[in-house]
């Protein structure tokens, strides 16, 4: 019998994927003791292909965060350190544990989920490849929901090639997820090396933002030259509604989250507070004890924007913005095949640097959220180091269900960047 | 807001003048389906608590709803049965609120874009009047589980068997004007659902429930403030609840007060309504489209296909029965229960003339069933047996009086073949032998000479003799024949 595609490959699984018989916490106290009786479709697909689970990885609580600092179990530390310094840096989030496991060579690959950048941003700041597939490409069944219309699982790997192999296995049409799409899953691996001669690459001008460090633009310009040198046609494009993406995202995602997280009430499973006198007391204590600050903040925002009298001004308007953003992309993709942008506005930052300022934390997703709002596929590929010696990524955004082209363009970046840097293994004591 | 027309006949007297009751209804009808609206768990009634709960129904982390196509089909069929507009595009929304028997913390329902839009129901009242009641919408939603408060002194138990079962919420326009109309509306709704087979209409098992909106106003005035009455779970309770609530509101208004918009609970023990929560205490349900589900879309051809396969509904059946010679009232009574209509039609197939079958059922058999607390399905007499009895009357084998006796015997003995096993076996056949009736008549006249004198003077008193002859023949004589013979014997003038 021939070996399966992923025979014996050790993978880390973000602790948002339900794993049968293995505690699944979403990095929240409220699911501290939760052991699913079922396996998520995506992880099952991986096991069916022969992969083995080396462990569940930490994340921001319920995937809400961009630094992996909101986890109930404590922050994840980035294996990378700035040149000549010993400060602990964040690995990005929310899939910070998965990114770290791959970057530190604790696993060959990992699963992540990406709601506003949670695969691509940590991949970028830990020097690995992260792919967010088209919404509907991978089943959401068995993944603890954050924002259902945005959540999508994807691979986090050392190379673009590995991402292609892993995505092929993760993706499937799942009748148990009504939003999963019944479209053939191409053999991404065999489509990887076609080159990018004649590929039309759009450069969206709105992604040049004030206040980003110059090294971000410099890297982006290098990326343009790399692709041009390999025969791509570079086209300046405009996505005029980009500036509304982040505010719209921070309305839609919390709105859905406020509803998705209502089930954690202490009645059937998970944490249940003791000492409550009545039903309301049980709810209040359980949820007060069970959820961390960032999750509570988003539940409150989400509850607010859905409330009578505010729904039209916030939720409905954010949905309209979403339509406009999707239209921006659709228009642009009439003229080009993929878009090239930076993956993050900065390299990894210090643990604790942004925890008191949620808005500056939210700005980490400025280049990634548009893609989730439009449901498109995008990849972050390590492309160079910052002046401090920290990894930076470039992002390729593609048309819906055209992961093959996204991977091929990502491979072109990877080839040109020839990113060989690795973190010093400072965590090894011997 | 629309102001529905006044129907003067329905006005009720208050201390300060006349009032009109305005009633609208929300009917929750459980879809007759084997599995739930968004999961594969069984919907069977009466199972062990929490034995029919899927991971989706329990709202386990990461579980997703998948629409049950069969339930959608039943909703569309019901929409067609209500002569309503079927929306080819509709949306499932989340209705958010916390309650232990609502595992996800939201109910999947349809808010702004329901699967079925406007329609109409015609209700027949006892006085022969037909009232048109508008249907505003029908939407699909999940039922909640059950909280069991009586299992433990200081804990509540939750049974999720019902959680996720498909309901159709059908909302009427405020077009009803009396408790009688409200009950008739619900009866008609139930009949339509049962004809369609989309809901079993069993109010006792809770598979059909109604909330009633009641307001009062001066005739022709704008609609008054309404109260929603919950937990009205039988036809009888609807009448009680509406009458109690209307009187309560009129008393408040006539005393110079005003009505608070609120939800009230019907207490069937005392026949009253009690406040449950006011408008101010009402939930903000924070409806938004459920991102786990795609909009519900289908094409007109599919709807047309369902329309073609629709069974004959009560209104059409009533018209057909009327064409066969039945009065509007008789036809309406028969079609009110599908089983009654089927039973009637079986009798017609057995060869009974339709009008005779309808008269027999409406005047004799249904009355006995009601008295015994039985239904057409649980009643003791088959349609074939009833047909035989009516046929024997039509063929002059027995008199209509004897027919009632045969019915009573058949009720007790359930022979299944009353012609052979009752009438023939007991010699209950009508006397067709004129000579025998003549001799019986002569005997009665001979035994009562003074009565005969009396009748000769006062022919109207002849009925006494008919009765005596009938008695003498154990009711087997044909009364018309007895009458004719008597008139000849006593030289009475012809009637008329």
The full set of domains in chain A, from first to last, is: 10-252+312-417 (3.90.1300.10)
Hey, are the CB atoms on B103 and A307 less than 8 Å from each other?
no
Give A83 or A427, the one with higher predicted confidence.
Answer: A83
- Which are the contacts of B186, defined by CB distance < 8 A and separation ≥ 6? B25, B27, B210, B235, B238
Distance of alpha carbon B246 from alpha carbon B252, whole angstroms: 10
User: Which residues of A make CB contacts under 8 Å with B?
Assistant: 17-18, 24, 26, 31, 34, 36-38, 40, 140-145, 147-149, 175-179, 255-256, 258-259, 261-263, 265, 267-269, 279, 283, 303, 306-308, 311, 315
- C-alpha torsion sign, points A213, A217, A220, A221: negative
Going from the N-terminus, what domains does chain B have, and what CATH number goes with each?
A: 8-305 (no CATH), 312-424 (no CATH), 434-490 (1.10.10)
Give B470 or B77, the one with higher predicted confidence.
Answer: B77
CA B296 to the chain's CA centroid: 32
Query: What percent of chain B lies above the pLDDT cut of 70?
Result: 98
Q: Is A22 exposed, middle or buried (0-12, 13-18, 19+ CB in 10 A)?
A: middle
The pLDDT value given to residue B467: 87
A118 catalytic residue (yes or no)? yes
Hey, are the CB atoms on B64 and A140 less than 8 Å from each other?
yes
- The three-state secondary structure class of B179 is helix
Minimum-distance CB partner of A265 among B66, B105, B294: B105
Helix axis angle, B338-349 relative to B179-196, nearest 10°?
60
A-contacting residues in B 455-494 (Cβ below 8 Å):
none
Chain B residues within an 8 Å CB radius of A269 = 60
The pLDDT value given to residue A381: 98
**Residue B393 clears pLDDT 60, i.e. is over it:** yes
Q: Does B282 touch chain A (CB under 8 A)?
A: no
H/E run at residue B14: strand B12-14
Q: Which of A127-131, A235-239, B442-446 has the lowest mean pLDDT?
A: B442-446
Q: Give B98→chain A minimum CA distance, Å.
A: 7
Hey, are the CB atoms on A306 and B286 less than 8 Å from each other?
yes
**Residue B2 clears pLDDT 60, i.e. is over it:** no
Closest among B207, B177, B174 to B46, alpha carbons compared: B207
Minimum-distance CB partner of A38 among B55, B100, B294: B55
Which is catalytic among the residues A94, A98, A180, A386?
A94
Hey, are the CB atoms on B59 and A263 less than 8 Å from each other?
yes
Closest among A265, A289, A290, A282 to B155, alpha carbons compared: A282
The pairs formed by A285-292 with CB atoms below 8 angstroms and a separation of 24 or more are A286/A30, A287/A30, A289/A29, A290/A28, A290/A29, A290/A30, A290/A264, A290/A266, A291/A28, A291/A29, A291/A30, A291/A61, A291/A261, A291/A264, A292/A28, A292/A29, A292/A61, A292/A70, A292/A72
* Tokens 């009562």 -> residue: B448
**Residue A241 clears pLDDT 80, i.e. is over it:** yes
Distance of alpha carbon B304 from alpha carbon A112, whole angstroms: 46
What mean pLDDT comes out for the span A199-212?
Answer: 93
A14 catalytic residue (yes or no)? yes
Q: Give A17→chain B minimum CA distance, Å.
A: 8
Q: Give B53→chain A minimum CA distance, Å.
A: 12
What mean pLDDT comes out for the span B9-36?
Answer: 92
Q: Give A75→chain B minimum CA distance, Å.
A: 23
Is the ipTM reported for this complex over the cut 0.90? yes
- The three-state secondary structure class of B324 is coil
A307 catalytic residue (yes or no)? no
**What are residue B215's phi and psi, to 5 degrees?**
-140, 165
Q: What stretches of B247-391 adopt beta strand conformation (E)?
A: 262-267, 272-278, 288-289, 296-297
Q: Give B101→chain A minimum CA distance, Å.
A: 9
* Contact in structure between A413 and A161 (CB atoms under 8 Å): no
Chain B residues within an 8 Å CB radius of A258 = 96, 286
Q: Give A369→chain B minimum CA distance, Å.
A: 17
Buried b (16+ CB within 10 A) or exposed e, B250-259: beebeeeeeb
Q: Tokens standing for A418? A: 């020839």
Task: Give B4's pLDDT tier (boundaries 50, 70, 90).
Answer: low
Task: Give B491's pLDDT tier (boundaries 50, 70, 90).
Answer: confident
Q: Does B66 touch chain A (CB under 8 A)?
A: yes
Mutate to test the interface with B, among A24, A260, A277 (most CBs of B within 10 A): A260
Hey, are the CB atoms on B61 and A265 less than 8 Å from each other?
no
Q: Give A42→chain B minimum CA distance, Å.
A: 12
Hey, are the CB atoms on A178 and B293 less than 8 Å from each other?
yes
Where are the alpha helices (H) located in B39-159, listed in sequence order? 69-81
Chain B residues within an 8 Å CB radius of A63 = none
- C-alpha torsion sign, points A46, A48, A50, A52: positive
* Tokens 């909640």 -> residue: B144
Q: Which of A29-33, A142-146, B104-108, B396-400 has the lowest mean pLDDT?
A: B396-400
Q: Does B155 touch chain A (CB under 8 A)?
A: no
Which is catalytic among the residues A118, A180, A258, A346?
A118
Hey, are the CB atoms on B291 and A147 less than 8 Å from each other?
yes
Minimum-distance CB partner of A149 among B60, B106, B291: B291
**Residue A1 clears pLDDT 90, i.e. is over it:** no
Q: What is the pLDDT of residues B288-311, one digit of tens each?
A: 999 999 999 999 999 999 999 999
**Residue B28 clears pLDDT 50, i.e. is over it:** yes
Q: Give B1→chain A minimum CA distance, Å.
A: 21
- C-alpha torsion sign, points A14, A15, A16, A17: positive
Closest among A135, A249, A311 to B288, alpha carbons compared: A311
* Contact in structure between B279 and B260 (CB atoms under 8 Å): yes
The pLDDT value given to residue B471: 86
The pLDDT value given to residue B496: 46
Task: Give A405's pLDDT tier (boundaries 50, 70, 90).
Answer: very high
Distance of alpha carbon B250 from alpha carbon B20, whole angstroms: 10
Q: Strand A338-342 to strand A391-398: parallel, antiparallel, or no bridges (unpaired)?
A: antiparallel
Hey, are the CB atoms on B105 and A259 less than 8 Å from each other?
yes
Distance of alpha carbon B371 from alpha carbon A312, whole angstroms: 58
Strand partners, A157: A109, A129
The pLDDT value given to residue B1: 42
Distance of alpha carbon B47 from alpha carbon B26, whole angstroms: 28
Chain A residues within an 8 Å CB radius of B293 = 178-179
**Residue B146 clears pLDDT 60, i.e. is over it:** yes
Q: Give A124→chain B minimum CA distance, Å.
A: 27
Q: Does B63 touch chain A (CB under 8 A)?
A: yes
Task: Give A404's pLDDT tier (boundaries 50, 70, 90).
Answer: very high
Chain B residues within an 8 Å CB radius of A176 = 64, 66
**Residue B3 clears pLDDT 70, i.e. is over it:** no
Nearest CA in chain A to B94: A259
- Which are the contacts of A412, defined by CB distance < 8 A and separation ≥ 6? A195, A196, A226, A227, A230, A232
Closest among B169, B191, B231 to B37, alpha carbons compared: B169
Which is catalytic among the residues A14, A132, A354, A399?
A14
What mean pLDDT comes out for the span B18-27?
Answer: 96
Q: What is the pLDDT of residues B339-365, one digit of tens each?
A: 999 999 999 999 999 999 999 999 999
The per-residue pLDDT of chain A, averaged, comes to 96
* Contact in structure between A312 and A335 (CB atoms under 8 Å): no
Hey, are the CB atoms on B60 and A306 less than 8 Å from each other?
no
Q: What is the pLDDT of residues B210-237, one digit of tens each?
A: 999 999 999 989 999 999 999 788 889 9
Q: Strand B227-232 to strand B262-267: parallel, antiparallel, or no bridges (unpaired)?
A: parallel
Q: Does B281 touch chain A (CB under 8 A)?
A: no
**Residue B23 clears pLDDT 90, i.e. is over it:** yes
Q: Is A253 exposed, middle or buried (0-12, 13-18, 19+ CB in 10 A)?
A: buried
Q: What is the pLDDT of residues A243-280, one digit of tens each?
A: 999 999 999 999 999 999 999 999 999 999 999 999 99
**What are residue B414's phi and psi, to 5 degrees?**
50, 55
**Residue B450 clears pLDDT 50, i.e. is over it:** yes
Mutate to test the interface with A, among B280, B286, B289, B297 (most CBs of A within 10 A): B286
Question: What count of CB pairs under 8 Å joins A to B?
Answer: 94
What mean pLDDT comes out for the span A221-246?
Answer: 98
Q: Tokens standing for B329? A: 């009232």
What mean pLDDT comes out for the span A72-83?
Answer: 97
**Residue B9 clears pLDDT 70, i.e. is over it:** no
What's the Cα-to-Cα distance from A81 to each of A212, A217, B450, rounded to whole Å?
A: 20, 22, 132
Cα-Cα-Cα-Cα dihedral of B124, B129, B134, B138, to 10°? 0
**Residue B24 clears pLDDT 90, i.e. is over it:** yes
Distance of alpha carbon B395 from alpha carbon A98, whole angstroms: 91
Mutate to test the interface with B, among A141, A267, A304, A375 (most CBs of B within 10 A): A267
Task: Give A138's pLDDT tier (boundaries 50, 70, 90).
Answer: very high
Q: Which of A366-375, B54-63, B256-265, B412-421 has the lowest mean pLDDT?
A: B412-421
Minimum-distance CB partner of A143 among B59, B62, B291: B62
Q: Does B53 touch chain A (CB under 8 A)?
A: no
Task: Give B5's pLDDT tier (boundaries 50, 70, 90).
Answer: low
Distance of alpha carbon A204 from alpha carbon A186, whole angstroms: 28
pTM: 0.91
């Amino acid at each position: 019998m021939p070996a399966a595609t992923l025979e014996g490959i050790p993978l880390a699984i973000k602790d948002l994927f339900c794993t049968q018989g293995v505690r699944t916490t979403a990095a929240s106290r409220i699911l501290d003791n939760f052991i699913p009786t079922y396996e998520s479709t995506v992880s099952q697909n991986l096991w069916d292909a022969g992969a083995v689970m080396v462990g569940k990885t930490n994340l921001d609580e319920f995937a809400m965060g961009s630094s992996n600092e909101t986890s109930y179990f404590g922050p994840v530390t980035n294996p990378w350190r700035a040149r000549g310094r010993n400060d602990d840096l964040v690995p990005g989030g929310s899939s910070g544990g998965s990114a770290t496991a791959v970057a530190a060579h604790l696993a060959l690959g990992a699963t992540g989920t990406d709601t506003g950048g949670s695969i691509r941003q940590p991949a970028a700041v830990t020097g690995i490849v992260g792919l967010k597939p088209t919404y509907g490409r991978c089943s959401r069944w068995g993944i603890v929901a954050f924002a259902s219309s945005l959540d999508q699982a994807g691979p986090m790997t050392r190379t673009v090639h590995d991402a292609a192999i892993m995505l092929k296995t993760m993706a499937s049409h799942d009748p148990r997820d009504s939003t999963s799409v019944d479209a053939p899953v191409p053999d991404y691996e065999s489509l990887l090396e076609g080159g990018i001669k004649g590929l039309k690459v759009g450069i969206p001008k709105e992604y040049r933002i004030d206040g980003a460090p110059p090294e971000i633009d410099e890297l982006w310009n290098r990326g343009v030259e790399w692709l041009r040198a390999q025969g791509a046609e570079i086209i300046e494009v405009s996505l005029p509604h980009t500036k509304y993406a982040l505010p719209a995202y921070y309305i839609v995602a919390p709105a859905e989250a406020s509803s998705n997280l209502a089930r954690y009430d202490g009645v059937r499973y998970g944490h249940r507070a003791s000492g409550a006198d009545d039903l309301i007391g049980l709810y209040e204590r359980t949820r007060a004890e069970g959820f961390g600050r960032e999750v509570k903040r988003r539940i409150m925002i989400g509850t607010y924007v859905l409330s009578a009298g505010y729904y039209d001004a916030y939720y409905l308007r954010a949905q309209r913005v979403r339509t406009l953003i999707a239209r921006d992309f659709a228009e642009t993709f009439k003229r080009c095949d993929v878009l090239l942008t930076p993956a993050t506005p900065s390299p990894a930052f210090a643990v604790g640097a942004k925890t008191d300022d949620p808005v500056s934390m939210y700005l980490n997703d400025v280049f990634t959220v548009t893609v989730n709002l439009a449901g498109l596929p995008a990849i972050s590929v390590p492309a160079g180091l910052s002046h401090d010696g920290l990894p930076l990524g470039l992002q390729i955004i593609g048309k819906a269900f055209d992961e093959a082209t996204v991977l091929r363009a990502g491979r072109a970046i990877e080839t040109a960047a020839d990113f060989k840097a690795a973190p010093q293994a400072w965590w090894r004591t011997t | 807001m629309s102001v529905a027309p006044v129907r003067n006949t329905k006005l009720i007297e208050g201390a300060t003048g006349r009032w009109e009751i305005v009633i609208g209804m929300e009917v929750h009808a459980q879809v007759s389906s084997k599995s739930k609206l968004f999961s594969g768990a069984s919907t069977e009634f009466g199972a062990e608590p929490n034995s029919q709960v899927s991971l989706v129904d329990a709202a386990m982390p990461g579980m997703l709803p998948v629409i049950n196509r069969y339930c959608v089909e039943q909703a569309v069929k019901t929409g067609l049965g209500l002569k309503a507009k079927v929306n080819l595009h509709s949306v499932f929304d989340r209705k958010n609120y916390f309650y232990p028997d609502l595992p996800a913390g939201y109910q999947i329902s349809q808010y702004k874009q329901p699967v079925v839009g406007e329609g109409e129901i015609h209700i027949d009242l006892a006085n022969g009047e037909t009232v048109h009641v508008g249907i505003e919408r029908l939407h699909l939603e999940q039922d909640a589980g059950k909280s069991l408060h009586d299992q433990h002194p200081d804990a509540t138990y939750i049974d999720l068997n019902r959680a996720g079962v498909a309901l159709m919420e059908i909302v009427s326009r405020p077009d009803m004007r009396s408790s009688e109309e409200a009950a008739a509306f619900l009866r008609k709704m139930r009949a339509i659902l049962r004809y369609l087979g989309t809901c079993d209409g069993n109010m006792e098992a809770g598979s059909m429930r109604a909330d009633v909106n009641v307001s009062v106003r001066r005739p022709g005035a704008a609609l008054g403030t309404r109260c929603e009455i919950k937990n009205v779970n039988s036809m009888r309770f609807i009448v009680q609840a509406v009458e109690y609530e209307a009187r309560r509101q009129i008393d408040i208004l006539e005393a110079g007060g005003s009505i608070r918009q609120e939800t009230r609970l019907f207490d069937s023990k005392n026949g009253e309504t009690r406040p449950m929560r006011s408008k101010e205490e009402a939930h903000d349900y924070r409806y938004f489209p459920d991102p786990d589900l795609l909009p519900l879309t289908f094409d007109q051809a599919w709807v047309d296909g369902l329309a073609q396969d629709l069974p004959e509904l009560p209104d059409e059946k009533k018209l057909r029965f009327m064409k066969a010679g039945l009065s509007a009232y008789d036809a309406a009574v028969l079609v009110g229960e599908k089983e009654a209509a089927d039973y009637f039609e079986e009798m017609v197939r057995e060869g009974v003339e339709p009008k005779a079958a309808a008269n027999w059922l409406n005047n004799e058999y249904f009355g006995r069933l009601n008295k015994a607390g039985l239904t057409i399905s649980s009643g003791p007499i088959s349609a074939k047996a009833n047909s035989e009895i009516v046929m024997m009357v039509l063929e002059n084998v027995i008199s209509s009086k004897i027919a009632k006796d045969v019915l009573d015997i058949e009720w007790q003995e359930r022979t299944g073949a009353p012609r052979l096993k009752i009438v023939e076996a007991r010699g209950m056949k009508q006397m067709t032998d004129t000579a025998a009736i003549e001799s019986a008549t002569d005997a009665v006249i001979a035994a009562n000479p003074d009565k005969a004198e009396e009748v000769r003077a006062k022919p109207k008193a002849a009925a006494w003799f008919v009765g005596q002859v009938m008695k003498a023949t154990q009711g087997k004589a044909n009364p018309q024949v007895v009458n004719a013979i008597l008139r000849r014997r006593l030289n009475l003038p012809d009637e008329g």
